[in-house]
Copies of this chain bind each other. A is one copy, B any other.
Amino acid sequence: MPKPVGEQLAEGAPRQRVLATATRLFYSEGVHAVGIDRIIAESRVAKATFYKHFPSKDELVRAYVVDQDELGRAAVNALPTEPPLSMVFTIIERLAEASRQPGYRGCPFLNAAAEYPDPSSPVRKAVDDHRRWNREHLRGLLTDAGQPDPDSTADILLLLCDGVLVSGELDKQSNLPALTRAAVNRILMIKE
């Protein structure tokens, strides 16, 4: 068990409290390792209320992934406007910097997918949605930037992104941001 997440009290409407608690626990300890009884207790919600908002635990997991998807898109959309290629750098560098945050425990989408082997499960579908949006967004930026062969380049950069997210959790190397920047430069074939 990792750092004990100290039963922080969530606030707001019941559904929001549940989702906040579930997000905190699922992300820090894993989906299968956290039971709904604990989520219900730590979010001070009645069991009936929980099951009114989320018909099953898997639905809660799906809601958690969808919520992370929306948060992730909102965060990207909220970035200050830059030239497309700068945006690409910014987005990818932020991934590398995320792994320096104290509570970083890897990518929530990759971690969730690892616990749901069935690619047709609703949770995996939600993960797929996020990844599809990511791909489309990156392809758009590279196209706007006039990059040659933007689709392939986007896919390669996405491979790098996944690697950064994984390595950020597993390797904890301090120079990941610099490494990431160098990698983007090489993939975009920019001479430094």
Contacts and interface: CB of A to CB of B under 8 A. Distances in A.
Contacts of A117: 1-2, 28-30, 33, 105
Interface string A160-192: 111110110111110000011011001101000
A131 interface: yes
Contacts of A28: 117
B158 A110 contact: no
A159 interface: yes
A33 to B, nearest CB: 7
A152 interface: yes
A106 interface: yes
A128 interface: yes
A119 interface: yes
A156 interface: yes
Contacts of A183: 156, 159-160, 187
Interface in A11-69: 28-30, 32-33
Contacts of A147: none
A30 B123 CA distance: 15
Interface of A: 1-2, 28-30, 32-33, 105-106, 110-111, 113-115, 117-119, 127-128, 131, 152, 155-156, 158-164, 166-167, 169-173, 179-180, 182-183, 186-187, 189
Given A111-B114, A131-B171, A158-B167, 16 more contacts: A1-B118, A28-B117, A30-B115, A32-B32, A32-B33, A110-B114, A131-B170, A156-B182, A160-B160, A160-B163, A161-B163, A162-B163, A163-B163, A166-B166, A186-B186, A186-B187
